[in-house]
Amino acid sequence: MNTSFPYNPHYDDPYFSPGAGFAEATHVFIRGSGLDLNIPRGITIGETGFGTGLNLWALLTHLPDCSRQSGAFPGRPQGPADALDQPAEAHSRPAGVQSSPAGSRDPAENENPMAGSQNPAEAQGQPAEAHSRPADLQNPAEERDVVDRLRGQPRERKNPAEESPELWYWSVDAYPLEWDQLQEWLQPYWDSGELSALNPGDVRSWYQALGLGLGRLGWHLSSWDFRGWRVRLALWQGDVEGMLSALGHSGVSFHGWFLDGHSPEKNPQMWSSEVLQDVGALTLPGGFAVTYSAAGVVKAGLRRAGFQVVRRPGFGVKRHMVVARKPASGPEGVFEG
């Protein structure tokens, strides 16, 4: 096999369009969700299919730089908060969680998470402060915070204007890549400048801190500071049903989902009606789900899961993609085919 091609032999399917992965991730997931226009101060994103992490890396390049700010937050919507400004309730610790769990209950605002584009200013990332297991965290207070939030214990709330903005990113991969392979497939985007906002050494630290490896099933956590944000990556090594089951017991709720598994023809498990139902149940009112796939089974599954579904122009050779939103109130329905 030619390892220069971003290909997954387990599903006989590429990870992304060769040479255009960053542009594809930006078009489908960042612009499709509207996160290029506004990223709430506290946001929780779920993903089905981590792969090379390109969707996360693209999202990081769009984070506004808050490293020199206090109080004011660029892009924060004006006026009354919508349904996304609701904290997710937390309950019991999910079954199957190992020593690297995390959760998110911060409120956030997002008036339009599904349209528009702008060019964000680029900035270098701050040195990584990544950790793989709560027992290894260098900051005991942070360790308690992570564990307590997953277990549903209340934590002291500060004035949101005084807290650093926070991104929680939950994802899954049954066959996580070794760093050397991941770096090889990301290198063209550092060479092109598309990933210039991220230091390759930092990305390596963030990824390797997860502690992924053969037989290490369950949650793996890595957290770091970037542009004044606290970024927390929780990656489930295993199948998507295991991740969603664990999340269902945790009480974590999501502002949006990047549905990026291999194609429904190659990996139908990732797009099953049960999986999409769980995604819908975990999504806050007004939340979104975006995907490159416009397959009929995907659109039908999202509608059954309570989303309003619309086709948008796809990327490259793909004619269409799908943008879905969970209604903030009122009956379920489809606003466009």
Where do we find the tokens 């009122």? 330
Q: Write out the DSSP string of 94-127.
A: PTT--S-----------S-TT-----PPP-PPPP
How wide is the angle at C-alpha 308 spanned by C-alphas 307 and 313, nearest 5°?
Answer: 115
- Please give the structure tokens belonging to residue 245: 């089951």
Q: What is the pLDDT of residue 59?
A: 99
Q: What is the pLDDT of residue 241?
A: 98
Q: What is the pLDDT of residue 26?
A: 98
Q: What is the pLDDT of residue 179?
A: 97
**Which residues, in sequence order, are bridge partners of residue 308?**
325
The interaxial angle of helices 273-282 and 296-304, nearest 10 deg, is: 40
CA pair distance 65, 229, nearest whole angstrom: 8
Q: What is the pLDDT of residue 131?
A: 34
Sign of the C-alpha dihedral computed for residues 18, 23, 26 and 29 taken in this order: negative
Per run of 10 residues, the mean pLDDT along the chain (length 337 residues) is: 75 90 98 96 97 98 82 30 30 33 34 33 35 36 49 50 87 97 97 98 98 95 97 98 96 97 96 98 98 98 98 95 89 41
Total Cβ atoms within 10 A of residue 154 = 9
Q: What is the pLDDT of residue 5?
A: 79
Q: Confirm if 61 and 215 have CB atoms less than 8 A apart.
A: no
**Helix, strand, coil percent values for the chain (each to nearest 5):** 30, 20, 55
List pLDDT tens digits, range 47-65.
999 999 999 999 999 999 9
CA pair distance 129, 224, nearest whole angstrom: 5
List pLDDT tens digits, range 63-93.
999 987 543 333 332 222 232 233 333 322 3
CA pair distance 46, 330, nearest whole angstrom: 24
| Domains, the chain, with CATH or none | 7-61+83-113+130-288 (3.40.50.150)
First-to-last C-alpha distance (Å) of the chain: 40
Q: What is the pLDDT of residue 18?
A: 85
